[in-house]
């Protein structure tokens, strides 16, 4: 697939799959044709995603390697505009899909009360030793397109990476009981209306991190392996 065609598809639907790549190095070159790589949680510009039983971070269920609906690094000063996953080996167990839901689709199913709640300003935690970001979960760009900063775990536990089975009192949550209810409603909409993508081996999935929520379905195949990239389009946040 030509890069120009991929750019159009990414712009039109918010994500694109580029198949039949020869290596992760080729995937990296393609990613850098879209934008500039930026550091991730470790400070490196790539991150290897593999099966980690009982101890994997970021909005997940530790027992199943499931990740709940969120946008990546919503409190980072350099929150990625786009995310890319290069598939070395996909899960063979029937799970491990990357699930996506656009802000437009989400807003179709939220009632006016929840839409107003989505415009609430939250204190999003940032990187270690750096301040986070105070911003609404939902805002609109200059063209009137919705943009998201969101984490189910932040609303239900007050942090991005709660311990499995952790309970948090409502008074300690960013939006209290209303925020917990909103997270449940978003999860229900996500489950019903998501696009579920099983990335083929040697393919690259790219999506707009400001436009789409993402999550990962349950899997148990220990051979699943991806390389993740964050990158920016160069526009101001």
Q: How confident is the model at residue 129 (pLDDT cuts 50, 70, 90)?
A: confident
- Residue 60 has what pLDDT? 39
Q: How confident is the model at residue 236 (pLDDT cuts 50, 70, 90)?
A: very low
DSSP H helical segments within 22-166, as ranges? Answer: 24-34, 103-109, 112-118, 152-157
**pTM for this one?**
0.90
Give the mean pLDDT of the chain.
Answer: 89
Sign of CA dihedral 44, 32, 143, 188: negative
First to last CA, the chain: 29
Q: Which residue has the tokens 């709640």?
A: 117
Q: Does residue 58 surpass a pLDDT of 60?
A: no
DSSP H helical segments within 35-141, as ranges? Answer: 103-109, 112-118
Q: How confident is the model at residue 53 (pLDDT cuts 50, 70, 90)?
A: low
CB 124 within 8 A of CB 79: no
pLDDT tens figures, 12-21: 999 999 999 9
Q: Does residue 235 surpass a pLDDT of 90?
A: no
Mean pLDDT for the stretch of residues 157-173: 84
């Amino acid at each position: 697939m030509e890069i120009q065609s991929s750019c159009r598809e990414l712009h039109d639907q918010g994500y694109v799959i580029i198949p039949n790549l020869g290596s992760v190095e080729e995937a990296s070159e393609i990613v850098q044709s879209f934008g500039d790589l930026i550091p991730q949680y470790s400070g490196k510009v790539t991150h290897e995603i593999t099966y980690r039983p009982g101890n994997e971070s970021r909005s997940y269920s530790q027992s199943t390697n499931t990740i709940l609906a969120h946008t990546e690094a919503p409190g980072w000063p350099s929150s990625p505009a786009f995310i890319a996953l290069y598939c070395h080996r996909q899960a063979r167990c029937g799970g491990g899909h990357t699930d996506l839901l656009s802000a437009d689709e989400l807003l179709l199913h939220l009632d006016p009360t929840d839409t107003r709640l989505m415009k609430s300003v939250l204190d999003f935690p940032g990187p270690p030793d750096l301040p986070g970001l105070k911003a609404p979960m939902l805002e609109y760009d200059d063209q009137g397109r919705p943009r998201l900063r969101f984490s189910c775990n932040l609303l239900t536990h007050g942090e991005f990476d709660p311990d499995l089975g952790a309970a948090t009192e409502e008074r300690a949550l960013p939006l209290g009981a209303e925020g917990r209810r909103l997270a449940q409603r978003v999860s229900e909409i996500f489950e019903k209306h998501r696009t579920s993508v099983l990335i083929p081996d040697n393919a690259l999935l790219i999506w707009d991190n400001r436009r789409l929520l993402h999550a990962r379905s349950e899997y148990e195949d220990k051979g699943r392996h991806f390389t993740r990239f964050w990158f920016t389009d160069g526009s101001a946040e």
